């Protein structure tokens, strides 16, 4: 499953490392947009397989941030 | 055969609906028979049905595929129509349409809610001259719906398809409840889409319940089963009066659910950190009274019916947990419709504000965020019901306006002690005003300079200063929010207001 950016912004903080297990609804990354912290959660339980972004990157709405399997 | 016996037999036959094989295939999909749906929806079996014998001389068209009734829900008289999908897939012939028109006209005369239980393949093309184009053709159903809109509550439950022209029945209802897996809405079927425009797509993807309740916003409430859809409708109607002339009934008050942490401890001091607005709502309203509308669509703004002290209210609340609570085109649309719904039926409004503003950037400008935002402001301004605005944490830019800020004639604008009201937040403001100056400073001096300017800015927009200037009406202890709302909604209930004199505004749609 792909985790996607809910809105345009900067990747501020990655809170789960590659290879770590994630729960459904767990925040995996916090974007920074409109001066707000925007937590993005995994919609499914699984393992964080791959990060597609690094902290500091700009992402647009709908861009893939990470892959959870 | 005696005349009574013959009548009885004819009634029995019609009430069975279509062929058994269609009942069986419906049952496999978890679909109830239309008459069962009606029995579940209404209080008792004291249901008045007209037009049972419509098209009775045709062998295979019992009731002409639609059941039209008047009965009671929660003791309140209500009119309803229910497509019978065991009869020619619930399609519409001339008498089907005439029956729907008549029950709508009954709802109009009695000034009672109108419920549409939809499960229909659309027009019977073989009968089109009789049912499509004329004065009493299908178009008249929509015309009647539009006339009824705002006069009486109109609710649609979609149990199955609502295709082509039929898809406009849900479009003109106040609320559309969709049963996941079976309900769908579309103008052209996937088969037609492939033929006419070459698109290959599944029904679920193009017009399924999840899609409409999450992405298009044409659906409002997604449920798993038909029973759940009916229960939701029964609950929803308790918040409403029978028509626009009346007020919602006040019921026995219920205390909010109790929590370890009070409101003052759940709101982070850091303006930029997320928190869950549902936590504040749950601590404020009567326990179990929240009836959320469009939960899955544009969740950065929460809209729902609730009760405070047993009194119906409509809540419009920013959700900092999703997209920072920023307003987008969809959230503005969602708010505009919900505000109109509440105002039409005398349901007072509560705005819970924690908004960084409207979204900026190329994408939203291309979507027309300015005109979408204008819709929200338009609807919010026209309201004549009591409206209370509470600045929970921040109200920046046009976000303040959209959330019924002081200029938009709320009955009161309250704020929590840490609230900020400004054109923009301190970081953005200092950056906007001081960017050139900051750039000229030596690197090591910048941080201190920015901090100093931000502190000065914060002082300038301090909530006590805004209260001193009488921009807001009161600063309240967050843990006394419920009490303040109970007192104020009680006082404002007899508000008498006309927005302005004119035919109607020119809506920025």
A2-68, what's its fold?
OB fold (Dihydrolipoamide Acetyltransferase, E2P) (2.40.50)
Which residue intervals of chain B bear CATH 3.90.226.10?
Answer: 3-237, 263-423+462-492
Domain segments of chain A: what residues? 2-68
pLDDT band of residue B16 (cuts 50, 70, 90) is very high
| B301-308 and B291-293 strand pairing | antiparallel
Residue B332 CA to residue B327 CA, distance in Å, equals: 7
CB-closest option in B274, B321, B326 to A34: B326
Percentage, residues of chain B above pLDDT 90: 94
Angle between helices B369-382 and B329-344 (to 10 degrees): 20
* pLDDT tens track for B99-149: 999 999 999 999 999 999 999 999 999 999 999 999 999 999 999 999 999
Residue B242 CA to residue B157 CA, distance in Å, equals: 18
Say if the Cβ atoms of A37 and B325 lie within 8 Å. Answer: no
* pLDDT tens track for A3-27: 999 999 999 999 999 999 999 999 9
Residue B207 CA to residue B52 CA, distance in Å, equals: 32
* pLDDT tens track for B329-355: 999 999 999 999 999 999 999 999 999
Say if the Cβ atoms of A7 and B356 lie within 8 Å. Answer: no
Chain B residues with CB under 8 Å of A60 CB are: 363
Query: What is the per-residue pLDDT for B103?
Result: 98
Chain B residues with CB under 8 Å of A5 CB are: none
Task: Determine the distance in angstroms separating the CA of A9 from the nearest CA of chain B, rounded to an integer.
Answer: 10
Chain A residues with CB under 8 Å of B323 CB are: 6-7, 33, 38
Q: Which residue of A has its CA nearest to B397?
A: A34
B263-423+462-492, what's its fold?
2-enoyl-CoA Hydratase; Chain A, domain 1 (3.90.226)
Beta carbons of B56 and B14 less than 8 angstroms apart: yes
Chain A residues with CB under 8 Å of B322 CB are: 6
Say if the Cβ atoms of A34 and B273 lie within 8 Å. Answer: no
Quote the Cα angle for B435-B441-B447, to 5°: 75
Q: Does domain B3-237 have CATH number 3.90.226.10?
A: yes
Q: Scanning the structure block, which residue is given the tokens 């809209």?
A: B303
Nearest to A31 by CA among A51, A10, A60: A10
Task: Determine the distance in angstroms separating the CA of B339 from the nearest CA of chain A, rounded to an integer.
Answer: 25
pTM of the entire structure? Answer: 0.95
Query: What is the per-residue pLDDT for B425?
Result: 87
Cα end-to-end distance, chain A, whole Å? 6
Residue B385 CA to residue B343 CA, distance in Å, equals: 6
Beta carbons of A66 and A3 less than 8 angstroms apart: yes
CB-closest option in B274, B363, B427 to A61: B363
Task: Determine the distance in angstroms separating the CA of A48 from the nearest CA of chain B, rounded to an integer.
Answer: 21
């Amino acid at each position: 499953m792909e985790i996607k950016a809910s809105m345009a912004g900067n990747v501020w903080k990655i809170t789960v490392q590659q290879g770590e297990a994630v729960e459904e609804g767990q925040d995996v990354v916090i974007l920074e947009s409109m001066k707000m912290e925007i937590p993005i959660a995994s919609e499914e339980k699984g393992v964080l397989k791959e990060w597609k972004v690094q902290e500091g990157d700009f992402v647009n709405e709908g861009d893939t941030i990470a892959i959870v399997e | 055969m005696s005349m009574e016996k013959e009548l009885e037999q004819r009634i029995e036959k019609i009430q069975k609906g279509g062929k058994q094989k269609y009942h069986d295939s419906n049952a496999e999909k978890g679909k109830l028979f239309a008459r069962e749906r009606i029995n579940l929806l209404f209080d008792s079996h004291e249901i008045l049905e007209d037009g049972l014998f419509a098209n009775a001389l045709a062998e295979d068209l019992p009731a002409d595929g639609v059941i039209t009734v008047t009965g009671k829900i929660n003791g309140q008289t209500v009119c309803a129509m229910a497509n019978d999908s065991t009869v020619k897939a619930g399609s519409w012939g001339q008498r089907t349409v005439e029956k729907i028109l008549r029950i709508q006209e009954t709802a109009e005369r009695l000034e009672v809610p109108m419920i549409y239980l939809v499960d229909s393949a659309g027009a019977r093309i073989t009968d089109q001259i009789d049912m499509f184009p004329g004065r009493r053709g299908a178009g008249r159903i929509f015309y009647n719906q539009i006339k009824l809109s705002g006069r009486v509550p109109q609710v649609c439950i979609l149990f199955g398809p609502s295709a082509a022209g039929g898809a406009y029945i849900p479009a003109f209802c106040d609320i559309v409840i969709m049963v996941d897996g079976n309900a769908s809405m579309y103008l052209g079927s996937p088969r037609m889409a492939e033929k006419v425009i070459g698109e290959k797509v599944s029904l679920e993807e193009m017009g399924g319940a999840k899609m409409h309740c999450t992405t298009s916003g044409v659906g409002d409430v997604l449920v798993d089963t038909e029973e759940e859809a009916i229960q939701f409708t029964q609950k929803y109607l308790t918040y409403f009066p029978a028509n626009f002339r009346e007020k919602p009934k006040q019921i026995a008050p219920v205390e909010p659910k109790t929590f370890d942490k009070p409101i003052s401890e759940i709101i982070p001091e850091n303006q930029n950190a997320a928190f869950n607005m549902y936590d504040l709502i749950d601590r404020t309203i009567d326990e179990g009274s929240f009836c959320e509308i469009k939960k899955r669509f544009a969740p950065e703004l929460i809209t729902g019916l609730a009760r405070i002290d047993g009194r119906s209210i409509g809540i419009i609340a920013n959700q900092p947990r999703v997209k920072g609570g920023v307003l987008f085109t969809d959230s503005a649309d969602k708010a505009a419709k919900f505000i109109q719904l509440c105002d039409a039926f005398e349901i007072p409004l509560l705005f819970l504000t924690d908004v960084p503003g409207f979204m900026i950037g190329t994408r939203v400008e291309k979507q027309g965020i300015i005109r979408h935002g204008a819709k929200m402001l338009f609807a919010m301004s026209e309201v004549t019901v009591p409206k209370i605005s509470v600045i929970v944490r921040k109200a920046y830019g046009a976000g303040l306006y959209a959330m019924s800020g002081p200029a938009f004639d709320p009955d009161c604008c309250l704020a929590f002690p840490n609230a900020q009201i400004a054109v923009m937040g301190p970081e953005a403001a200092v950056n906007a005003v001081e960017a050139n100056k900051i750039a000229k400073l030596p690197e090591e001096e910048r941080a201190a300079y920015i901090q100093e300017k931000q502190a000065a800015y914060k002082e300038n927009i301090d909530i006590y200063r805004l209260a001193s200037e009488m921009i807001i009406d009161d600063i309240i202890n967050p843990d006394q929010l419920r009490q303040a709302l109970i007192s104020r909604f009680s006082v404002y209930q007899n508000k008498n207001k006309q927005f302005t004199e004119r035919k109607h505004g020119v809506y920025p749609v």
